[in-house]
Structure 1
Amino acid sequence: MQSMKNLYPILVATLLAQAVARATTLYSLDTTVLDGNTGENTYYVAQTGSTASLSLDPTPSLTYTMASTAGSLTYMVGYFNSTTLTNVGDKISFSLSYTATSALKASDEAFRVGLYNSGGSYMTSNNTSSGSSATNGYTGYAATFRPSGTPGTGNTFKERTGTGNNLFTSSTYTNLGTDTFAPIGTGAVSMTFSAELTAGGLLLTTSYGGNVYSFLDTTPSTTTFDTFAIYGVDASSSASLIFSNLTVDSVPEPGQMALLIIGLGTVTAAACRRRATIAYR
């Protein structure tokens, strides 16, 4: 029979594995349901006079075909179970990977991603009138990028502080921090955008292509999230972004698991001391 001392590393490894497993996937390509299907949770918005489309294949991958009129507004919106960052260390992470069939427009903020709190107001169909009234009051955060060329200062973290049917209207956002993001790239792109609750506020982080940027919002407008959105402006009509990954994860703070491991270590040490005392006697 193995001693408590020998079992301790095994128990710690098991608990650490369980801690990692506590991360919850809130949205993925496997759970994507497009407009017109039972349980739909993903939609697009196109500029008036233009069209867009979303399509899934069994890989799975999601093809997001942007505006039929080059340079027009278009974005997609996805919903997931509401999650609130309550404890220090709680985190929500949005990761994506795509390839573009042709380059996005080489202009500031031509690619944007965001995480939002819908307040329970959801889109129920695709929209071709430049915006949906359902998204009027959404609060949350975005990261905006220039695909190529020299980026201006507007390519940075933003907080949605205004209202409007167009979720990405620039006037409804306030820039956060002083970072100017490097271009996102025009070919294959993999990136993450996350929000983590810290003792000092909400820490926003984005990483892609070896670039990492962060900003701490000391007075966050929301710590509840149930919506993501992706905005793109194509340089040629009906360009597509083909997503091989589109995932939202919620990661609870690890503090309770750490306390459990520490407690187990204390009990194990006490047991070992007791065994040593008995043996000495």
Structure 2
Amino acid sequence: MSSQQKRNPQVSPIRLAFVAFAATALTSLAAAASTDTLFQISDAITSGTGQNVFASDASKGFTGTNSTQLVYNNNSGSSYIVIKFGETSLTNVGDKITLDWTVAVTNGATSGGNAFRVGIFDVGTATSSDFETATGYRANYGSNVSTNGGRGFYERPASSNAVLFAGGSQFSFSEYSYTHGNFALTLNQTGTVSFTGTFSIMLLEGDKVQTSTQIGSNAVATITDSAGVFTSFNSVAIWTSAGSSGGNVLTFSDLTVTSTSTIPESATVAAWLSGILAFACVMIRRRRRD
């Protein structure tokens, strides 16, 4: 090696490539997030062994449900459906659980805040009743919800009320940072109205949770809760009420629950580490040849 080379050693292109590869791998692992589907319409079992979709009223039913649509026949009055899945916890900042839907509501109620409600809860072993210990978050949608203080969000602590969506069992957020959105939704008592929506809960820094929702193209609404937050869930629920003509039916063409984790799956980590190890082996062999 010449004195010039000693004064200005050259870095091997392979070493530079390895450094770049390792940096990319570590960056990808840090930013990676995995999304799991907890429920979709093709998973729906409305009776018998393995049932995971329940009606709060035994007189209601799911006639017409198949692998591409979930049909809930509420008929008259008000009731709700409960969809159960495995216990899911928000443990790392950025973890999120989301409910997305596309639904056609036939003969829906048009009164104030009683058009449509959704929630994500931990109901324990309950299925259609006895929800006293249930906890979670919900959103109300209706023709006047957006003007009612802008507060369509509610949290549900455990209470003595066995009805999941009962007003007496719901409390407004005791501490919150609210971003005004639009919860307005007008249904048709004697016709069908179709719309899409999303409702999600995400863990923030400082043991806070952010609840967000959007109906159709309405403005997104969010609220941050920092007092007595809930981070474990095993169900979603959807409430409906019949219009004056009765015959209320919800026909879902999409009803999906997903969980997003900010920690990459073990298979992803293993793949990246294997790649780094293989690259290191190539470098060692190359160095020995040189």
Would you say same fold, with TM above 0.5?
yes
1:169 matched to which residue of 2? 166
What SS does structure 2 have at the residue aligned with 1:87? coil
**CA separation of 1:173 and 1:58: change in aligned 2, threshold 3 A:** closer
Instruction: Name the structure 1 match of 2:125.
Output: 121
- Alignment equivalent of 2:231, drawn from 205, 223, 228: 223
* Equivalent residue in structure 1 for 2:112, among 88, 102, 107: 107
* Alignment map for 1:226-237 (pairs within 5 Å): 226-235=234-243, 236-237=245-246
In 2 relative to 1, CA 65–57 (structure 1 residues): closer, same or farther, beyond 3 Å?
closer
2:156 to 137, 144, 160: 160
Deviation at 1:148, TM superposition (A): 6.9
Determine the structure 2 residue equivalent to 1:243.
252
| CA distance in structure 1 between the partners assigned to 2:126 and 2:252 by the alignment | 23
Matched residues in 2 for 1:87 and 1:205: separation?
Answer: 18
Partners of 2:110 and 2:98 in 1: CA distance: 26
CA deviation profile, 1:101-156 (whole Å, cap 9, x unmatched): 234333213311001112x3222xx6xxxxx22x1210111011115797534851
SS at match of 2:93: coil
Task: Number of aligned residue pairs: give it.
Answer: 248
Aligned residue for 1:30, secondary structure, equals helix
Superposition pairs of residues 1-281 of structure 1, within 5 angstroms: 5=17, 8=21, 19=32, 22-35=34-47, 37-46=48-57, 51-68=59-76, 72-118=77-123, 120-123=124-127, 132-133=129-130, 135-147=131-143, 151-153=147-149, 156-161=152-157, 162-176=159-173, 177=176, 179=180, 181-186=182-187, 187-200=193-206, 201-210=208-217, 211-235=219-243, 236-254=245-263
Are the aligned partners of 1:52 and 1:238 in contact in 2 as well (CA < 8 Å)? no
Q: How many angstroms apart in 1 are the aligned matches of 2:265 and 2:57?
A: 45
State how far apart, in whole Å, the 2-side matches of 1:45 and 1:31 are. Answer: 19
Deviations for 1:63-88, whole angstroms, at most 9, x for unmatched residues? Answer: 111143xxx22111110010111111
Q: CA deviation at 1:30?
A: 1.2
Q: Would the aligned equivalents of 1:202 and 1:220 in 2 still touch at CA under 8 Å?
A: no
Quote the offset at 1:53 in angstroms. Answer: 1.7
Distance 2:264 2:66 in 1: 39
TM-score normalised by L of structure 2? 0.72
The structural deviation recorded for 1:174 is 1.1
Return the alpha-carbon distance in structure 2 between the equivalents of residues 155 and 40 of structure 1. Answer: 34
1:146–1:155 Cα contact (<8 Å) kept: no
- Structure 1 residues 26 and 157, CA gap change in structure 2 (3 angstroms): same
Residues 214 and 170 from structure 1, CA distance in 2 versus in 1: closer, same or farther, beyond 3 angstroms?
A: same
| In 2, Cα distance between equivalents of 1:3 and 1:190 | 52
Q: 1:66 to 1:147 in 2, by over 3 A?
A: farther
Q: Is the 8 A contact 2:41 2:67 kept in 1?
A: no
SS at match of 2:42: helix
* Stretches (4+) displaced over 6 A: none
Q: Distance in 2 between matches of 1:180 and 1:102?
A: 26
Residue range with higher mean Cα deviation, 78-87 or 169-178: 169-178
Fraction of identical pairs, as percent? 26
Native 8 Å contact 1:106 1:149 kept in 2: no
Paired amino acid for 1:58: N
Instruction: Name the TM-score, length of structure 1 as normaliser.
Output: 0.74
What's the C-alpha RMSD, in Å, of the aligned pairs?
3.6
Higher-Rg structure is 2
Q: Which residue of structure 2 lines up, in the alignment, with residue 129 of structure 1?
A: none
Shift of 1:182: 3.1
How far is the alpha carbon of 1:29 from its aligned partner?
0.5
Unaligned runs of 5+ in 2: 1-12, 188-192
